[in-house]
Amino acid sequence: MTAQEVLAESDAPSLMRSVEKLSPKLISKFCDEGDELAIEVYRRTGFMLGLGLANYASVVNPEAFVFTGGIAKAGDWLLDPMQETFEKYVYKNMQGKTKFLVSELDEDNHDVLGASVLAWEVKEYSLFK
């Protein structure tokens, strides 16, 4: 949606214009190729994310944020503006203290692993005993 807004705002050339269906992955790729409007899309998204996470951190004071899924894949085009905004808006006692981590778990196995952990926590039960 942000990409559509950015494209509608100007007539500047962009690789995004020639694509029928935009995806985060494609936009990242265009950023890598130096597309200014694609970079702007991630800059705006990163700003909003950074502001939201700063408010979250001011309330909860976590040790770290761990990113999984699409956010983790977008890479520095998203994370740099996000972190810059975060440090600007988070409560001052927490500035520079909250870590940002990208999950090291395999995307496909992430949730089945989590679900298996939950399975160990439930009381054992069997129909056939």
Partner 1 sequence: MENMEAIETVDKIKTRVVGVDIRIDRTTMAVVDIRGEIVAQDHFPTTDYPDVNDYLTALSENIFALLEENGGYESVRSIGVSAPSASSISGCIENAANLPWKGVIPLAAMLRDRIGLAVALANDAHITALGEKTYGSAHGMKDFVVVTISHGGLGSCFFSNGQPHLGNDGFAGEIGHTCVEINGRECGCGKHGCLETYCSQKGLVRTAQELMAEAKEPTLLSDLPELSIEGITRCCDKGDKVAIEAFRRVGDMLGLGLANYASVVNPEAIIITGDMTAGGKWLLKPMRQAFDEHVFRNIRNKTRILVSILKEGERDVLGASALAWDVKEYSLFK
Q: Which residues bind partner 1 (CB under 8 A)?
A: 51, 54-56, 58-63, 88-89, 91-94, 97
Report the nearest approach of partner 1 to the CB of residue 65 (Å): 12
Report the nearest approach of partner 1 to the CB of residue 51 (Å): 6
Nearer to partner 1, 92 or 123 (CB): 92
Token pair, residue 44, equals 């705006």
Nearer to partner 1, 67 or 86 (CB): 86
Decide: 34 and 68 in contact? Cβ < 8 Å: no
Report the nearest approach of partner 1 to the CB of residue 63 (Å): 4
**113 contacts: CB under 8 Å, gap ≥ 6:** 105
Nearer to partner 1, 8 or 60 (CB): 60
Nearer to partner 1, 72 or 89 (CB): 89
CA–CA gap between residue 7 and residue 38 (Å, rounded) = 9
Question: Up-side HSE of residue 105: CA atoms within 13 Å toward CB?
Answer: 12
Report the nearest approach of partner 1 to the CB of residue 59 (Å): 6
Decide: 61 and 97 in contact? Cβ < 8 Å: no
**92 contacts: CB under 8 Å, gap ≥ 6:** none
